[in-house]
Structure 1
């Protein structure tokens, strides 16, 4: 049913947890209660989630590394009645009574775009997403999901549940050592590797020889054009998945044409965006009575593919003119000798805001040469006023690129 690194676990091993759960007073009848699940083992997470979901319980998924006291505080704020922490052997009462709300999946947003918030999705809506997701990808019977992201995260959870719905055994990789990841990729025949761009970059950088993939599904943060081209050269097939915690997977691009290409929306969703690339409109997604404003800038290309150009709150306003960081990043990374670049806003004494570029270079160049290159490809107000060279792009603890984090760091 599931493999964790190189340990294989059948369906019976998962279901063996169920009688133990049923013997525990607080888990015997979980309907109408919310259970905070803060477990380290993917097998334990899957067992707890399936047991509670099948019996009408709601689940709040937490990072398994969360300390007990912090997990209690988060669970209480979310309205959980009980907490499963570290193992499934003990359940901690939190004093909350049963609710009459529909059984749901609760998750906390990462907080990379602001203060973390509690996200609620009905289990029946998650089931619709899984069905739609599996129909959107042309799966081969031999495809084996190799999931490099935590299963308490939306991306990893969808990958695991979608595989189980297809009656395929996913492999969950817990050890994130780049050498171990490379070993798992090479030893798993027909592996469909679920990962975030940072992991793909890390795994590739630690190998003397290129790491070749069968299929890749990247999500969590946008690929850069440079990384996209690198993994395309070393993969038979590349998918870029786009979504958000509030509504799950929104779209999937099969062989994305560029880093901004996230493919066609899943069929169960309605997506409202700008019709022209020059318009900066927010991506709004609807499903049933639920409408989500994603906070992302996007438009639909002529073939109906969704293009994402960054966060609405990442837009830089230079003398009243708006600059999308991704557009400037693309120009900079097309310059020979540039390994990586991130563009964000910085303060300016006259204009209020200015464009700043943080660059990892693989060759010799000056800030003036970077600006000259940009002047050939961009209008003057989009040319970076500040260029900073670094050995690596600073990242917050989540590991994701955060322009908000970089702006605050630069303004200290």
Structure 2
């Protein structure tokens, strides 16, 4: 059925878990309950999710590394009835009334641009996403799905585990994030597609150069810097990218990525509206369940959705819009830079200003980068603050919060 860190689990193992769940008092009448789980073992978490889905209850996944008090807070914010923390023997009752009317997968948004919010998706919505996703998935790409991202997130759980099972592939789940361990598993399954975040893919590329190529990789979650993608394309036979949001799951798929901003073509269960290349606009996703205004800025090129920036990350300099990705692309023309992130700071005298942090193994004179920017950018796009750092701080999910990097200029 699936592997977790080289441990094979069968249908019999799943049935054994489900038999156990049938006799847990906290899971009685679970179709009327919302169950939160923070479990250290990935298979028990997936088994519980499948059981609650089958029963028509609601499930709240919580990352295994979350401390108890934080997990309990998430469970309370998610209106859960029960929290299983690290085991099924010691459940925490959050509330007793059984008032759930419909089964949901309940997730919290990443919080990169504000306070995380509770998002409910019915199991029917997830089934529709899976049907659409697998219907356009390239059949020749990877017979073994290797998932090196959290299965508590929809990317790893739905697009990774559930979609692989629907395609008839055996998912291989890796919870050990050591890049050398991931590379060893990849070599054991040469006909693979690897699901991972851009930061991990970048580390793997640096280590993989002496030992050979990847078969296929899938990236999602945040825009990959173009130099990272170029290096990945040299190391992998095929690079894919998908795009979506917490409210809808995956809505586009790119089967052969060459340009980082290209998110892919719309899946058959959605319709996407946005701006043009000359006038980017908010990405709006329409399904039969309604419209989602993503607060992402993008455009359509042919039938390809392209991502520009988050609406909240766009920088307004004296009434002129600056897109961080445009400035980052110019900075990364200097091959000594490993990573660059552009963000805004509030200027008490002149509104918003463009700022940037970058990493490099070499010490770089700021004047060199400013000269480069002057060649390709308008004056209002050029960063007024450029800072070389050892590491660009990221959230636990690997994403950069530009809001956290910004502040008040002095």
Shorter chain as denominator, the TM-score bin is over 0.9
Alpha-carbon offset, residue 272 of structure 1: 1.2
SS at match of 2:406: helix
The secondary structure found in structure 2 opposite 1:391 is: coil
Write out aligned runs for 1:132-171 (5 A): 132-140=132-140, 143-158=143-158, 159-171=160-172
- Quote how far apart the aligned CAs of 1:169 are: 1.2
Equivalent position SS for 2:150 = coil
Report the equivalent of 2:62. Answer: 62
Once the two structures are TM-superposed, the CA of residue 140 in structure 1 deviates from its matched residue by 3.1
- Assess if the C-alpha contact under 8 Å between 2:197 and 2:398 holds in 1: no
Cα 1:394–1:26, aligned 2, differ >3 Å: closer, same or farther?
closer
Distance 1:364 1:245 in 2: 39
User: Is 1:11 matched with 2:11?
Assistant: yes
The worse-fitting range, judged by mean Cα deviation, of 231-240 and 276-285 is: 276-285
The Cα of 1:35 is off from its aligned counterpart by: 0.8
Structure 1 residues 208 and 192 mapped into 2: Cα distance closer, same or farther (>3 Å)?
Answer: closer
Q: Structure 2 unaligned runs (5+)?
A: none
Structure 1 SS opposite 2:375: helix
Cα deviations across residues 359-406 of structure 1 (Å, max 9, x unaligned)? Answer: 223556422221121121122211122221223222244432221121
What CA distance in whole angstroms lies between the structure 2 residues aligned with 1:362 and 1:198?
17
Distance change in 2, residues 1:168/1:250 (3 Å): same
For normalisation by structure 1, the TM-score amounts to 0.94
Q: Is the 1:44–1:87 contact (alpha carbons within 8 Å) kept by the matching residues of 2?
A: no
Deviation at 1:78, TM superposition (A): 1.8
Could you tell which deviates more after superposition, 102-111 or 388-397? 388-397
Question: What residue in structure 2 maps to residue 379 of structure 1?
Answer: 378
Counterpart position of 2:343: 344
Partner of 2:2: 2
Deviates more, 1:381-390 or 1:126-135: 381-390
- Measure, in 2, the Cα distance between the counterparts of 1:258 and 1:207: 22
What is the distance in 2 between the residues matched to 1:391 and 1:95? 46
Q: Where does residue 248 of structure 2 map in the other structure?
A: 247
Q: Name the CA distance, whole Å, in 1 between partners of 2:209 and 2:240.
A: 25
* Aligned counterpart, 2:76: 76
**Deviation for aligned residue 1:211:** 5.4
Question: What pairs up with 1:248-397 in 2 under 5 angstroms?
Answer: 248-274=249-275, 276-301=276-301, 303-363=302-362, 365-397=364-396
Q: TM-score, normalised by structure 2?
A: 0.95
State the number of aligned residues: 409
Deviates more, 1:53-62 or 1:132-141: 132-141
Q: Deviations over 1:224-263 (max 9, x none)?
A: 1011101100111100111111110021112223111001
Q: Aligned partners of 1:280, 1:210: CA distance in 2, in Å?
A: 41
Query: In structure 2, what is the Cα distance between the partners aligned to 1:129 and 1:170?
Result: 18
1:125-182 superposed Cα distances (whole Å, 9 cap, x missing partner): 1000011111121123861110001111110011101111122210000111111111
* Distance apart, 1:14 and its partner CA: 1.2
Per the TM alignment, residue 68 of structure 1 is displaced from its structure 2 partner at its CA by: 2.6
- Greater Cα offset, 186-195 or 360-369: 360-369
In structure 1, the residue corresponding to 2:14 is in which secondary structure? helix
Please list the CA deviations of residues 69-117 of structure 1 after superposition, one character each: whole Å capped at 9, or x if unmatched: 3322321232211222212344332223222422111011121121011
Task: Using the TM superposition, give the Cα deviation of residue 353 of structure 1 relative to its aligned residue in structure 2, in angstroms.
Answer: 1.6
Q: Residue 57 of structure 1: CA displacement?
A: 1.0
Displacement of 1:196: 0.2
Partner of 1:34: 34
> Is the Cα contact below 8 Å between 2:230 and 2:258 reproduced in 1?
no
Local SS of the residue matching 1:203: helix
Q: Which moved more, 1:282-291 or 1:68-77?
A: 68-77
